[in-house]
């Protein structure tokens, strides 16, 4: 039996000698490489915290002592130690283990902490709650990376911890000199001086916090000693731990860009990603087009928040290194800085994940839109991203940002439209623009049959029964719906407005000419594009019934994109059935054999859809 097979919970570690813990660390690294290379996921961050996690769980008594991980993508080892190693066979798959802490999985997971810079605030709240109740018999531990410390919320938390009452709170600063890419800025320089043990003032001690370190984050015995000392202080203390991201696996150690931060399924022997189908990714198309635009427009600059390569800006950074600004995990600063850059005469393009733009809503609203600044926002990972789970699905952008006056939003359906709409966005000078697209491959381009006032007609067959307004990449599903409806004698027109906000006025005329209208979007139904179109049609006096298909107002479990869309009813099968029943009525549809025929047709289309994806849902 291996040491790893004897670990069923944190208590399994407490009888092990340091050399046994070192051996266990190597077994865990081998286990991580094997499982994560098969599934994809955050490999580099976890290879770097193996010894640290073992030391934490051998010194602290989870779940009585509370551990909060920032960000939670470094919690794989924590999951293994807390008895979930078997779940790694279905890591990030529907019904399997989440890629982040998940309170539904284990009492050892306090929060689904997948957005950076929040752990210190959680920890401060937990410690204050204990102090309020007179509890001094347990500790709160926040594990936060130096990359997460570039976020403003982390400094708000640190400021309040330093100025609060004495209470047992341990801040483990996991200093691997990286967020996704190398950490930049003045704080990174300060940590560098501390690592070099250079003389001078210590920022943490000047704030009134105790400070221990720096300590080798791959020396279990040294980590145990310093963590026990920190626990014994009974007051807020920073433990400065120096680790190596991607440690112990040659492909991640060689990758100087991101040290294997988030990998696709790969061959662990060669480090090469397994083949996938579907053509270039939306991200790569954006990156290519940004270079082309920058070559024509000297005023165009790019801004990213610690996600240079994941948002596609690496080619531009390589071509124009002085025209790409990485602000670290600081979305709020990025957006207001972009407003200032626009005010100064440049045209900033802020590339950010859809789910992260929520953090900068106030800045987008008040600092950009209120002042009608010409800033272009590019939201990657919009819609259903799938395997990263509830916090990473970009299902809110079209709803949250729908309320911003003067913001024009586009949703390209394919790679060609992304290139066109990005060009149109940076040409707009009367206020902010936004282009959003999903994670994954673009697939084949879907050409328009005709265009009316900016709205593309993708399909037209039969009588004017159903108008289908598709949003972005849902065009493929919309076309499948139309195909099934026409097989049963129901005519359909499929249109893509391209710019979804403000609503194109031509949709009113189109809707008037049809018996029924639907909208299909991979965004929340609440306040989304469908809602905006419905409000517009009512304002225009259009009486055609409208039904919106989108993501329900709930957090979505992790899983493949196709699985998540199916669970939301966003498949051609579900949508077409609903339309048939709306038009013919459920009983009449069954009597005419529509539902039975329709189900077999949908099964065929779903098989084709899976075949086109090649099984790759990343």
Most distant CA pair in the chain: distance in Å? Answer: 85
Residue 114 is labelled as binding a ligand: yes
Residue 189 is labelled as binding a ligand: no
Residue 116 is labelled as binding a ligand: yes
Residue 148 is labelled as binding a ligand: yes
HSE-up (13 A, CA, CB side) for residue 435: 30
Distances (CA, A) of 164 to 80, 329, 500: 34, 25, 48
Helix (H) or strand (E) holding 612, with range, is helix 594-613
**Position of tokens 């996991």?**
174
Task: Give the tokens for residue 282.
Answer: 């939306």
> Among 35, 178, 245, 498, which one carries the catalytic annotation?
245
Select from 485, 455, 484, 483 the least CA-distant residue to 470.
455
β-bridge pairing 237-242 and 210-216: parallel
Select from 420, 429, 405, 510 the least CA-distant residue to 465.
510
HSE-up (13 A, CA, CB side) for residue 135: 13
CB 299 within 8 A of CB 292: no
> Among 51, 112, 289, 331, which one carries the catalytic annotation?
331
CB 240 within 8 A of CB 9: no
Helix, strand, coil share (%) of the chain residues, nearest 5 = 45, 15, 40
CB 494 within 8 A of CB 478: yes
DSSP secondary structure string for all residues of 118-184: -HHHHHHHHHHHHHHTT--SS-EEEEEETTGGGSHHHHHHHHHHHTS----EEEEEEE-SBSSSB--
The DSSP output letter for 112 is -
Residue 115 is labelled as binding a ligand: yes
CB 456 within 8 A of CB 510: no
Select from 464, 490, 458 the least CA-distant residue to 578.
490
> Annotated catalytic, 245?
yes
Residue 371 is labelled as binding a ligand: no
Residue 593 is labelled as binding a ligand: no
Q: Cite the DSSP H helix spans in 234-311.
A: 250-254, 282-296
Task: Report the sign of the C-alpha dihedral through residues 52, 55, 60, 62, in that order.
Answer: positive
The DSSP output letter for 394 is B
Name residue 409's beta-bridge partners. Answer: 434, 501
Strands of the sheet containing 237-242, edge to edge, are 66-70, 140-145, 169-175, 237-242, 210-216
The DSSP output letter for 451 is E
| Cα distance between residue 377 and residue 348, in whole Å | 8
Give the relative orientation of helices 594-613 and 572-584 as an angle to the nearest 10 degrees: 160
Distances (CA, A) of 148 to 114, 186, 266: 11, 14, 27
Q: Cite the DSSP H helix spans in 5-106.
A: 18-39, 44-47, 50-59, 76-79
Residue 369 is labelled as binding a ligand: no
> Annotated catalytic, 331?
yes
> Among 92, 323, 359, 381, which one carries the catalytic annotation?
359
Binding residues: 73, 114-116, 146-148, 176, 249, 331
Binding residues for thiamine diphosphate: 73, 114-116, 147-148, 176, 249, 331
Binding residues for Mg(2+): 146, 176
Which residues participate in catalysis according to the annotation?
245, 331, 359
């Amino acid at each position: 039996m291996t040491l790893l097979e004897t670990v069923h919970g944190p208590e399994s570690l407490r009888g092990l000698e340091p050399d046994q813990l070192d051996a266990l660390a190597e077994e865990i690294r081998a286990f991580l490489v094997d499982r994560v290379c098969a599934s994809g996921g955050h490999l580099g961050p976890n290879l770097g915290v193996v010894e640290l996690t073992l030391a934490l769980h051998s010194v602290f008594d989870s779940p009585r002592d509370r551990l909060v991980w920032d960000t939670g993508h470094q919690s794989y080892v924590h999951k293994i130690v807390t008895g979930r190693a078997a779940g790694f066979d279905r890591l990030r798959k529907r019904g399997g283990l989440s890629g982040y802490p998940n309170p539904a999985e284990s009492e050892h997971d306090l929060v689904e902490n997948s957005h950076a810079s929040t752990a210190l605030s959680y920890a401060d709240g937990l410690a204050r709650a204990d102090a309020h109740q007179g509890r001094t018999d347990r500790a709160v531990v926040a594990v936060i990376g130096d990359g997460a410390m570039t976020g403003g919320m982390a400094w708000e938390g640190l400021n309040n911890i330093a100025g609060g009452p004495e209470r047992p709170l341990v801040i483990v600063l996991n200093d691997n000199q990286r967020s996704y890419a190398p950490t930049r800025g003045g704080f990174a320089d300060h940590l560098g001086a501390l690592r070099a043990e250079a003389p001078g003032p210590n920022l943490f001690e000047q704030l009134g916090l105790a400070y221990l370190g720096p300590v080798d984050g791959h020396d279990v015995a040294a980590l145990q000693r310093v963590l026990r000392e920190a626990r014994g202080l009974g007051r807020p203390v920073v433990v400065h731990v120096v680790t190596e991201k991607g440690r112990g696996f040659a492909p991640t150690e060689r990758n100087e860009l991101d040290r294997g931060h988030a990998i696709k399924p790969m061959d662990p022997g060669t480090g090469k990603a397994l083949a996938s189908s579907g053509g270039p990714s939306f991200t790569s198309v954006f990156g290519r087009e940004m270079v082309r635009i920058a070559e024509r427009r000297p005023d165009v600059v790019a801004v990213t928040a610690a996600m240079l390569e994941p948002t596609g800006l690496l080619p531009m950074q390589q071509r124009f290194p002085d025209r790409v600004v990485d602000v670290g995990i600081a979305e709020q600063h990025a957006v207001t800085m972009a407003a200032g850059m626009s005010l100064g005469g440049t045209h900033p393009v802020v590339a950010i994940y859809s789910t992260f733009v929520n953090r900068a809503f106030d800045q987008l609203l008040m600092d950009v839109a209120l002042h009608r600044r010409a800033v272009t926002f590019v939201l990657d990972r919009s819609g259903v991203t799938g395997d990263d789970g509830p916090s990473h699905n970009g299902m809110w952008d079209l709803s949250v940002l729908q309320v911003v006056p003067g913001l024009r939003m586009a949703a390209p359906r394919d790679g060609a439209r992304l290139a066109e709409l990005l060009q149109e966005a940076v040409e707009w000078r009367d206020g902010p623009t936004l282009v959003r697209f999903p994670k994954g491959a673009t697939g084949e381009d879907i050409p328009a049959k005709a265009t009316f006032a900016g709205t593309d007609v993708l399909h037209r067959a039969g009588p004017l029964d159903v108008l289908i307004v598709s949003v972005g990449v849902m065009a493929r599903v919309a076309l499948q719906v139309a195909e099934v409806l026409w097989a049963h004698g129901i005519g359909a027109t499929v249109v893509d407005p391209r710019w979804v906000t403000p609503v194109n006025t031509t949709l009113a005329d189109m809707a008037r000419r049809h018996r029924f209208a639907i909208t299909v979007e991979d965004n929340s139904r609440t306040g989304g594009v469908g809602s905006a179109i419905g409000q517009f049609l009512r304002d225009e006096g259009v009486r055609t019934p409208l039904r919106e298909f989108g993501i329900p107002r709930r957090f979505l479990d992790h899983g493949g994109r196709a699985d998540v869309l199916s669970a939301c009813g966003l498949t051609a099968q579900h949508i077409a059935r609903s339309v048939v029943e709306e038009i013919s009525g459920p009983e009449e549809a069954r009597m005419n054999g529509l539902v039975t025929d329709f189900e077999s047709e949908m099964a065929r289309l779903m098989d084709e859809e899976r075949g086109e994806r090649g099984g790759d849902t990343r």
